[in-house]
A and B are shown apart, each in its own frame.
Chain A
Amino acid sequence: QVQLQESGPGLVKPSQTLSLICTVSGDSINSGGYYYSWIRQPPGKVLEWIGYMHSSGTVYYIPSLKSRLTMSLDISENQVSLQLRSVTAADTAVYYCSRSRWPMGPWVVWGRGKLVTVSS
């Protein structure tokens, strides 16, 4: 059974880069043509989908984050990574990695989430 696990620093300073890794276990990341999405949830607020990385390498970022966001695949490590540059307090959230057969969900498989706080 496939599992996703987010990892990375829990505290990032304003203006710096938030970097997270989603490690996939139980399946190979480049098999099956899945879309790996990142979804975030600021404390007490609504979920926000921020984009996907397809196992083929295709990416999509939501327009509001496109200028600051990079997603990538590491096939050898079976990982998907997220980098969000020039962060502010508004980027404080639980970041979830998820997997779907479709680019915009719905999502059955989710990681447990990683809380990232932006603060000096």
Chain B
Amino acid sequence: EIVLTQSPGTLSLSPGQRATLSCRASQSVSNNYLAWYQQKRGQAPRLLIFGGSSRATGIPDRFTGSGSGTDFTLTISRLEPEDFAVYFCQQYGRSVTFGGGTKVEIK
């Protein structure tokens, strides 16, 4: 099983700041089959990025996915108030596993 480790666990930032979230895989993720989701309290996850770097339909361009192999990054260029949430990564190259999540909170 591919284990995904996300860091940091919590990111305390102010609106307008840049957020950089990491997702590290225990083995290489084939074909960069790595997705990022945003989840707010009491809601289902929302797909942001798939294939490591492709934005899902309707996702603002302040969200950028990058990386390959075992190291992936989600960058939010300028945090908007609605971006404060929990972010998960998911690999779908070999079965499915999810990371533990990074909470982006208001500082």
Q: What residues of chain A have their CB less than 8 Å away from a CB belonging to chain B?
A: 46-49, 62, 96, 98, 102, 104-108, 110-113
Contacts and interface: CB of A to CB of B under 8 A. Distances in A.
7 closest pairs, A vs B, by CB? A110-B44, A106-B35, A49-B96, A104-B92, A47-B98, A106-B50, A104-B96
Contact-residue bracket for chain B: 10 to 19
A71 to B, nearest CB: 15
B69 interface: no
A113 B96 CA distance: 19
Interface of B: 35, 43-47, 50, 56-57, 88, 90, 92, 95-101
Given A105-B92, A106-B92, 14 more contacts: A46-B88, A46-B100, A104-B92, A105-B35, A105-B96, A106-B35, A106-B50, A106-B56, A106-B90, A108-B47, A108-B56, A110-B45, A110-B46, A113-B44
Given A47-B90, A105-B35, A106-B90, A62 B44 contact: no
A104 B95 contact: yes
Given A106-B35, A108-B57, A47 B45 contact: yes
A48 B98 contact: yes
Contacts of B43: 112
